[in-house]
Amino acid sequence: MASAAAEATGAPPTAEDAIEKSKTDVQQIDPYNVSGGVDEHGNAKAIDYDRLIEEFGVQPLTEEHLKRFEQVTGKKPHRLMRRKLFFSHRDFDKILDFYEKHGKFMLYTGRGPSSGSMHIGHTVPFLFTKEIQEMFDVPLVIMLTDDEKYLYTRNKNNGTQKKGATAEDFLKFAHENIKDIIALGFDPKKTFIFTDYEYIGGHFYRNTSEFESLVTMNQARGAFGFGDSTSIGLIAYGAKQCVAAFPSSYPELFGYKDFRPPDFDPSAIRRHKELSKIPCLIPCAIDQEPYFRVLRDRCERMTDPHPKTCLILSKFLTALQGPGGKMSASDSNSAIFMSDKPNEIKNKINKHAFSGGRESLEEHRKFGGNPDVDVAYTYLSYFLEDDEELADLEQRYRSGELLTGEMKARCIKELQKFVADFQERREKVNWEIMRSYMNPRKLEFQGNPNPTQPQAPAASETNGEKEDGAADGDKSGGKDGRGTKGERKAAKLAEKKAEKLAQRQKPADEGAAQ
Ligand code: TRP
């Protein structure tokens, strides 16, 4: 049963509820759940992304954004953007403005290491992030949430620690996943990869503490649907995923000091204000958006205010069985793994990939196929670079000229190549190479070679009084990812209101907890 609070606020259910809920008819997307619901016959429904845009209050990615992207970077937008597989955003235009003006930002993405092997769906946000990093020439941090997966799994099992699900197991999965991620080709000079168990401490942990102080139990319940039986570890985890978006959590990457042992440096006790000027863009699948909604509401309330984090959000790669589910590592027939052999890929596609073709050859020739629900075509739309070939396949399938078997054969060929190339690189990623990405060190990046205004203002410097667009040296108004003056004022008012409300609700809350 979903908790009453979650029902009342329309919030995602608790982790425990989620398992049951995902079998019901409603679409449900949150960090613990991805399901389009089921129809009256019990069949899985495709995820309704337009509805999600409305429900989450995110913006659709438009042709305007693609044009602006091209203008700012001088490069053609990534195929996943061109095809609107990255389909929505928050403040993507602001990060482009900031980059054009001040020259740099930080990229951040992550992965929950729920098992030692990754499937092709897991590679999608990483492939995108890698190419975006190359286009902008900016630093990237990749977070592996071994702690989240440990806490989530144990919470799901009502506090019992199952075999193969200890903290150490998840750390091990994280290491295997990191090798996979490296094999996708990230530049070692500008990429820092960490697991929470290994890295969190120092300035990162101080940001975590402060962020935790900004989220009440009521708000966590509202955002994630946590209930009274959720462990406090899982409740608190979200703060870490949030502050990982702050460059000030990683002083070493930008040539500043942390204060941690072994060489505790008193001069580095304070967090570095300079770093809070650098904005962050997170490419991720839309199920992670609830975390970052909580984050964006609090960026400007940190001791060193940070600009609101920008997001670019993707759809999910469908399971082999077709629209309605996403690839799942726990169902090997739903997914193509990065460790699959060529004939496994072939058999899985041929046997399991949902087809948009007609019942008989005759009907197919006459009425044509439907690429929109065809899984082989869908995978090609993610992995095939050539726009013309893709359009040609689509058109010939619709007309009935191209048969399901032929579409599948093209898909098999493309995926076999993608996976085989990956495996060749993966074999070379040894322990030393992995550790070199995980070493907190100064990253090397250029950013925009010709920023119009190289000095970025601090969020705190321009809070309040500056007019929008005021041309005053390094202080810009409004265009740097923090919203306009009016927006900031409104945000402040809303915040005060929320605080007052929280104060008033306090006695009632405490009563309820007893
Ligand atoms: N919670 C994510 C998962 O389970 C992992 C993650 C952490 C992440 N930080 C992120 C994903 C930032 C995308 C962007 O997969």
Q: Is 107 in the pocket of ligand 1 (CB under 6 A)?
A: no
- Does residue 325 sit within a domain? no
Ligand 1 centroid to Cα of residue 331, in Å, is: 21
Which tens digit of pLDDT belongs to each residue from 30-87? 888 888 888 888 888 889 999 999 999 999 999 999 999 999 999 999 999 999 999 9
Amino acid identity of residue 13, one-letter, is: P
449-470 average pLDDT score: 62
- Does residue 119 sit within a domain? yes
Q: Is 288 in the pocket of ligand 1 (CB under 6 A)?
A: yes
Q: Is 276 in the pocket of ligand 1 (CB under 6 A)?
A: no
In this prediction, residue 28 carries a pLDDT of: 87
Residues 102 and 165 in one domain: yes
- Does residue 383 sit within a domain? yes
Residues 352 and 398 in one domain: yes
DSSP string, 185-252: T--TTTEEEEEHHHH--HHHHHHHHHHHHT--HHHHHHHH---TTS-HHHHHHHHHHHHTT-GGG-GG
Residues 94 and 140 in one domain: yes
> Quick one: tokens of 512?
């309820």
- Nearest residue (by CA) to ligand 1, atom 5, is 111
- Nearest residue (by CA) to ligand 1, atom 1, is 112
Residues 283 and 371 in one domain: no
Q: Which of 126, 194, 241 gets mutated to test ligand 1 (max ligand atoms within 8 A of its CB)?
A: 241
- Does residue 72 sit within a domain? no
CA atoms within 13 Å, Cβ hemisphere of 475 = 12
Read off the pLDDT band of 7 (50, 70, 90): very low
- DSSP 8-state class, residue 475: B
Q: Who contacts 474 (Cβ-Cβ below 8 Å, separation ≥6)?
A: 453, 455, 456, 457
Read off the pLDDT band of 485 (50, 70, 90): low
Q: Is 122 in the pocket of ligand 1 (CB under 6 A)?
A: no
Ligand 1 centroid to Cα of residue 5, in Å, is: 25
Q: Is residue 460's pLDDT more than 80?
A: no
Number of separate domains in the chain: 3
- Residue 357 main-chain phi, psi, to 5 deg: -85, 170
Which tens digit of pLDDT belongs to each residue from 81-139? 999 999 999 999 999 999 999 999 999 999 999 999 899 999 999 999 999 999 999 99
Residues 238 and 270 in one domain: yes
Q: Which of 107, 143, 243 gets mutated to test ligand 1 (max ligand atoms within 8 A of its CB)?
A: 143
DSSP string, 9-71: HTPPPPHHHHHHHTTSSS-EEETTEEE--B-TTSPBPPP-HHHHHHHHTPEEP-HHHHHHHHH
Percent with pLDDT over 90 in the chain: 73
Residues 208 and 189: their CA atoms lie apart, in Å, by 26
Residues 378 and 421 in one domain: yes
Domain termination site, one of 372, 402, 426:
426
Bridge partners of 321, per DSSP, are none
Q: Who contacts 362 (Cβ-Cβ below 8 Å, separation ≥6)?
A: none
DSSP string, 150-191: HHHHHHHTTT---TT-SHHHHHHHHHHHHHHHHHTT--TTTE
369-373 average pLDDT score: 96
Bridge partners of 312, per DSSP, are 89, 283
- Does residue 89 sit within a domain? yes
Residues 294 and 339 in one domain: no
Give the range of the structural domain holding residue 390, as residue numbers without chain letter.
Answer: 332-426
In this prediction, residue 487 carries a pLDDT of: 47
CATH number, domain with residue 380: 1.10.240.10
Read off the pLDDT band of 457 (50, 70, 90): confident
Which tens digit of pLDDT belongs to each residue from 155-166? 999 999 999 999
Ligand 1 centroid to Cα of residue 364, in Å, is: 42
Ligand 1 centroid to Cα of residue 287, in Å, is: 9
Q: Who contacts 313 (Cβ-Cβ below 8 Å, separation ≥6)?
A: 58, 86, 87, 88, 89, 90, 283, 284, 285, 286, 289
